[in-house]
Structure 1
Amino acid sequence: MKKAVYVAALVVAGFAASGQAMADEALAKAKNCMSCHALDKKLVGPSYKDVAAKYKGNAGAADKLAAKVKTGGKGVWGEIPMPPNNVTPEEAKKLVTWILSVK
């Protein structure tokens, strides 16, 4: 019985985590981020997997990248600039938290 409860708890946790990831991907799609970025390949901008790998372990990355999402930037991934995005600071932080979690 304990094993069944444990397995059920893991399944629920997995669905909750999956739902959160999908919700953040949905926000990226809604804000047109996916026009220039993809999960696993370079489009106009870097893939989210490449961004996550570059900033892995960097404690200040989330705040720095959230500011770049909001105001735009250029030079880190090449000469094509990323324009400013019409997102709230909270949305920018949510997007970056999700991007940094992509594996």
Structure 2
Amino acid sequence: MILRIRNRLLVCAALALAADFAYGEPEPSALVDQQHCMFCHTRDAPFLAPSFQQIAERYRNVPDAHVMLEQKLRLGGKAHWGDMAMPPAVERGGPLSAEDAHTLVQWVLSQ
């Protein structure tokens, strides 16, 4: 019985790990929550802003796009996907360090 439960837990852990690899980098949940990313974005469908997959498709292979995206996350920026501009980090959930912006951008580009 214990062996069966252990095996089921291992299978569940393997499936969760496979789901993370299917989407690339594991989601930095604390940063996503702190910056209220999901208020405007979703992983795979446009909402108030483009999906993370759309952003990744547009910028993944653009040289140095991560620099522009990291700056936009920290300072905000004009709209490139419609009428809604990206608000600065201080208006979304507080200041965002360069390292945290880099973490978020790498995760988005891995979608």
TM over 0.5: yes
1:57 and 1:36 mapped to 2: Cα distance? 24
Residues 1:59 and 2:63 are matched in the alignment: yes
Alignment RMSD: 2.5
The aligned residue for residue 3 of structure 1 is none
Pair 1:70–1:40, CA change in 2 (3 A) = same
* Aligned match for 2:108, one of 93, 99, 103: 99
The aligned residue for residue 74 of structure 1 is 78
TM-score normalised by L of structure 2: 0.69
Which structure is richer in relative contact order (CA contacts within 8 A, separation 6 or more)? 2
Please list every run of 5 or more consecutive structure 2 residues that lacks an aligned counterpart in the other structure: 1-12, 90-94
Please list every run of 5 or more consecutive structure 1 residues that lacks an aligned counterpart in the other structure: 1-10
The aligned residue for residue 39 of structure 1 is 43
The size of the alignment, in residue pairs, is: 90
TM-score normalised by L of structure 1: 0.74
CA positional deviation for 1:81: 1.1
The aligned residue for residue 26 of structure 2 is 21
